[in-house]
Amino acid sequence: MKLRFCWVFLFSFDLSAASLRAIYGDFNSPPAVILQQGKVAAGFMPDIYQLLANELGIKLQMVAMPRKRLADFLLSGQADIYCRASPEWYPDRGLQWSPPLLMFQDLIISRRNYLDLEDFTQRSKGEIGATLGYVYPKLQPLFGNKQLLRVDSVTPATNAIRLLRGELDTIVLSDTEAGYMLRLADFKTLTLTTYPIHCMYGPSLSPLQRLKLNRFIQQQASAGVFQKVLDQYHEQGLLSSVVPPPS
């Protein structure tokens, strides 16, 4: 049974007291945020934000901003919450953190057959598609000794397209993006890293609001609600229907 969401978006900072100001940006690739004509149309992040706003009994206000200003916007009170983050990525002391919502993975996706990550580390060579600005600690030694050549794309979708076209044999994507854009059964996949995803709160949320959200998030995560929200987007943006296979 599909979960359905009715979003009420506000686009005025004047109404912040009556709304949950939730961050998104063009760095949030589908299925996190799906835009149509520049406006938020769907995505598991706005779906989850709506659940959180409902729990607080207030409206949802989506606030667009660049990745590099996320912490500043939260700490300065211009936004309240961002829910695709890890404390390791944003170490600012003034930020507060929720319990984990979901567990994500970075996947190695390849046309080549590898037994496991150790086999990949020993035998892989040539180019590997990566996303600009992302760090992959387990692959850094292979980049450093020139065993692998990192080829960066601005968006995960570009890497997926290059894989489908045969321009790259191997790419790195998060499991959420990969499961949305690719039929993973068509490729060999290896788990590179597993990590929890949290919400980070700015000081504009009151201690009572944070407590209420933390209890709700812990309950819903334990019940698998957030995972069901994410699962609705599985293979919903398949690129194979629009990208011709390699000749």
| pTM for the model | 0.89
Interior angle at CA 42, CA 244 and CA 30, nearest 5: 45
Q: What is the pLDDT of residue 1?
A: 42
pLDDT tens per residue, range 135-162 = 999 999 999 999 999 999 999 999 999 9
Measured over the CA atoms of residue 168, residue 170, residue 171 and residue 177, the dihedral's sign is: positive
Q: Nearest to residue 104, comparing CAs of 227, 246, 240, 242?
A: 227
pLDDT tens per residue, range 176-221 = 999 999 999 999 999 999 999 999 999 999 999 999 999 999 999 9
Band of residue 101 on the pLDDT scale cut at 50, 70, 90: very high
- The reply to whether CATH 3.30.300.30 applies to domain 103-194 is no
Dihedral pair phi/psi, residue 70, rounded to 5°? -55, -55
pLDDT at 17 exceeding the cut of 60: no
Band of residue 247 on the pLDDT scale cut at 50, 70, 90: low
pLDDT tens per residue, range 35-82 = 999 899 999 999 999 999 999 999 999 999 988 889 999 999 999 999
75: which 2 tokens?
């700490």
Q: What is the pLDDT of residue 16?
A: 45
pLDDT tens per residue, range 103-132 = 999 999 999 999 999 999 999 999 999 999
* Bridge partners of residue 96, in order along the sequence: 201
- Of 83 and 245, the structure prediction assigns the larger pLDDT to 83
Can you tell me the distance from the alpha carbon of 13 to that of 81, in angstroms, rounded to the nearest whole number? 14
Q: Do domains 13-101+197-231 and 103-194 have the same CATH topology?
A: yes
Domain 13-101+197-231: homologous superfamily in CATH: Periplasmic binding protein-like II (3.40.190.10)
> What are the boundaries of each domain within the chain?
13-101+197-231, 103-194
Q: What is the pLDDT of residue 13?
A: 38
